[in-house]
Amino acid sequence: MIVLIVVTVLLFLVTCDFIRELFPTGKSDLTFKASFSLKTNKSDTVLFTGNDIKWLNGTTGEIRFVNSSMIPKIKAYHFIKCYLGPDSIVTARVTLPVVSALINDLVLNMNLNDGQFYFEDGYPDWIENPEAKAIRNKLKAKREPAWNRIMEELKREGKYVEK
C-alpha cells in the first residue's frame, strides 16, 4: 500500500512545473547568438539557448530568464540572432533606454520601468510617423512565419505564456 502511495505521489510530482524547471528534460533547439555586426557570423557568440529562457510572453513580448545575470550580458551586444537548430530564423537589434535611433525592425528592448527585455516590432515602441508604421507592419508580416516557428518551439518546450 505504501509503495502504491509513493508511486502515485512521484507521478504527480513529475507533472508539476517546478520539477521540470529543476530537472530539464532535454536540450532546446533554440540558440541565440550575440553579435556586434550583421556582416559576419565569425564573431557570433552563443549568448543563451532555450534552456536559459524561463518563459516568453506571447502577448507582451517579455522574455524572462532562468538566471537574471543574463540581462547584463545581453546589454553588451548590438544584435541577437536566433537559430532553430541550424536554421537562422530572425535577428533582433538590442536597444537600451539611451538609444536615440529610430529602428523599424525587430528589437530586443530593455524596458526602463522594470529592467526586463521585450521583443518589439520597432524602437521606440510608439511612433507617429505613418511611413515608419507602414515599414514596421511590412517587416512584421515578412518575419511572421519565422517568429511563429520560435513561438511553436517555446510552446513545445513549455516556455510560452500569455498574460
pLDDT digits (tens, 9 = 90+) for 113-146: 898 999 999 999 888 889 999 999 999 999 999 9
Instruction: Please indicate, yes or no, if residue 155 is contained in any of the structural domains.
Output: yes
Residue 41: give the domain boundaries. 25-161
> How far apart are the C-alpha atoms of 146 and 117, rounded to whole Å?
20
User: Residue 73 has which C-alpha cell?
Assistant: 550580458
Instruction: Please indicate, yes or no, if residue 93 is contained in any of the structural domains.
Output: yes
Is residue 106 within 8 A of residue 139, CB to CB? The reply is yes
pTM here is 0.78
Maximum Cα–Cα distance across the chain:
71
Number of domains making up the chain:
1
> How far apart are the C-alpha atoms of 52 and 159, rounded to whole Å?
10
pLDDT digits (tens, 9 = 90+) for 94-112: 999 887 889 999 999 999 8
